[in-house]
Structure 1
Amino acid sequence: MVLKSSFTMLVVASLAVFGTYTPQAEAHSWADCIDWKFNKSGGKQDWSDKGGKCTGYARRFPLHKAFGSLDSADPSRHYQQVHKNPNSALACSNGKAGVEAGSDETRANPPSKAYGGKYGQMTVTSVGDTLCVRWPAKNHAKKNEPNNMVQINLSKAKDAKDISQQELLKNTIARLPYKNCNAGSNEDRRACGGCFKVPVRAKGTYLLQWRWMLNKNEWYTSCADIQIK
């Protein structure tokens, strides 16, 4: 009788544990901000909302959304390029192509139409300035995860239509460690980022691409227009 009661209590306790357990889903990342400004200069970088503010966004990036929540949006923010020949894939999501289509990040005509109102503003910068890009960890900054580099690709085509992925890969201006993140227990929503200098370009508007590989041939991209003055 004692054994039966003990077994019953064990089963009930186990069900209670599993009933309250919520697994962390493996999600995929995107560029949350293209021009992140820290509140404090120098010292340890703070990528959290308390540590700074965003002054430039990707194309058609919705405002007033919780950080790291846009994988639950419809459509989701992350665009996963096709696995076969990803270096020849569509560089910026059109909302249709890819393993995961993501949101529409095609070039607007004029580019300014993809910014303002319900969307974040365009990045405005100058040659030699420092741009800092932010992204959510999405459970991929853990110790057992590879620290793959984020590519920052910047077109040389001024005020022009988007160039191909192959052409963008000839214009990689920075490689940023993906796991450069704030400390925190919420592996999904940890804030990460990296900074780079704006290279020499004539005054005008250019395509900037954030591109990150999770697994072999599994690439994610975000696209933005930046205005160089």
Structure 2
Amino acid sequence: MFFTSLSKASLALIAASLVLLLTNSVESHSYADCIDWRFTNPKKSNSWSDKHGACFGYARRFPLKAKPFAKLDSDDPNRHYQQSHKNPDPNHALPCSNGRQGEEPGADETMGHPVTAAYSGKDQHGRKTGMITTTHPGGQLCIRWPAKNHAVPDEKNQPVTIALSGANPKKDPTQLEFLDNIVAKLNYKNCTDKGKDTDIWPCGGCFNLPKNLQTGYHVMQWRWKLNSDEWYTSCADLNVVKK
């Protein structure tokens, strides 16, 4: 038979490869890919694919053109950040990854000093980082994220929450401070261009900023709950200017 002709080493290698494949499929976790997504045709905003739009603002130290869409979870460190389960709980956990803490530390998304430093240089791998989001009070923002296998019918649809800091904070807000200023809840499963690979479905949602938002820099948190104790976040800065 076929299997009797394979060595034990070959069988072990096949088994290990299958485990790795299944692990990558199951343990894929999301993050904000773009903070200011703009559709090529705003009247036909029904596709989050790169073919139908472009990004004009990114999360902190987000690498440009590093890998194809949705593949930064295999970066080193992973792009996605899972908050600590014991700090003492996810509602008190570090809100923006510092690259060291958390169940899955993720990439460094701490505040830059000055704020623009997180967008005008390179990440730890020497890759150019994306630009800061510039917007205005009452302006619309559209945020994009990859499905990472979690937008299929048998997955529970947990909303994405968007929270803001006050104007010009000296440091990142605490998680509790973000929870006190949630400005939008978005449908996680609002995905398009659904091919066979459910990992790379592009998803997103749009919302309007408060009309009374002060001008200046604001910290924005994208936060998504996968399981009862798994919270994933991405942080970005908004440069809010007069319209």
TM-score > 0.5 by shorter chain = yes
Number of residue pairs aligned between Structure 1 and Structure 2: 218
Q: 1: CA distance between counterparts of 2:4 and 2:196?
A: 29
Q: Answer with 1 or 2: which has the greater Rg.
A: 1
- Are 2:82 and 1:80 aligned? yes
Aligned identity (percent) is 51
Q: 1: CA distance between counterparts of 2:116 and 2:169?
A: 11
Which TM-score applies when normalising by structure 1?
0.89
- Are 2:228 and 1:216 aligned? yes
Q: 2: CA distance between counterparts of 1:184 and 1:92?
A: 32
Runs of 4+ in 1 over 2 A off after TM superposition: 8-12, 18-24, 157-160
Query: 1:51 offset after TM fit, Å?
Result: 1.1
**1:127 is matched with which residue?**
137
Query: 1:201 offset after TM fit, Å?
Result: 1.4
Partner AA of 1:61 in structure 2: F
**1:5 is matched with which residue?**
none
Partner AA of 1:109 in structure 2: H
Q: 1: CA distance between counterparts of 2:130 and 2:44?
A: 28
Q: Which runs of 5+ in 2 are unaligned?
A: 6-10, 122-127
Q: 1: CA distance between counterparts of 2:154 and 2:116?
A: 41
Q: 1:113 is matched with which residue: 98, 112, 117?
A: 117
**2:8 is matched with which residue?**
none
Q: Write 1 or 2 for the structure with the bigger share of strand.
A: 1
Which structure 2 residues correspond to residues 1-229 of structure 1 after superposition, within 5 A? 8=1, 23=22, 25-26=25-26, 27-65=28-66, 66-84=68-86, 85-117=89-121, 118-182=128-192, 183-199=194-210, 200-229=212-241
Q: Assess if the C-alpha contact under 8 Å between 2:39 and 2:45 holds in 1.
A: no
Q: 2: CA distance between counterparts of 1:194 and 1:172?
A: 15
Which TM-score applies when normalising by structure 2?
0.84
Q: Assess if the C-alpha contact under 8 Å between 1:158 and 1:202 holds in 2.
A: no
Query: 1:217 offset after TM fit, Å?
Result: 1.7
Residue aligned with 2:30, SS: coil
Q: Which runs of 5+ in 1 are unaligned?
A: 1-7
Residues 174-225 of structure 1 show CA distances to partners (whole Å, capped at 9, x for unaligned) of 0001000012221000000000001121110010000000000200000000
Q: 2: CA distance between counterparts of 1:201 and 1:161?
A: 19
Q: 1: CA distance between counterparts of 2:82 and 2:106?
A: 7
Residue aligned with 2:38, SS: strand
Partner AA of 2:69 in structure 1: F
Q: 1: CA distance between counterparts of 2:90 and 2:224?
A: 12
**1:4 is matched with which residue?**
none
Q: CA RMSD, aligned part only?
A: 2.0
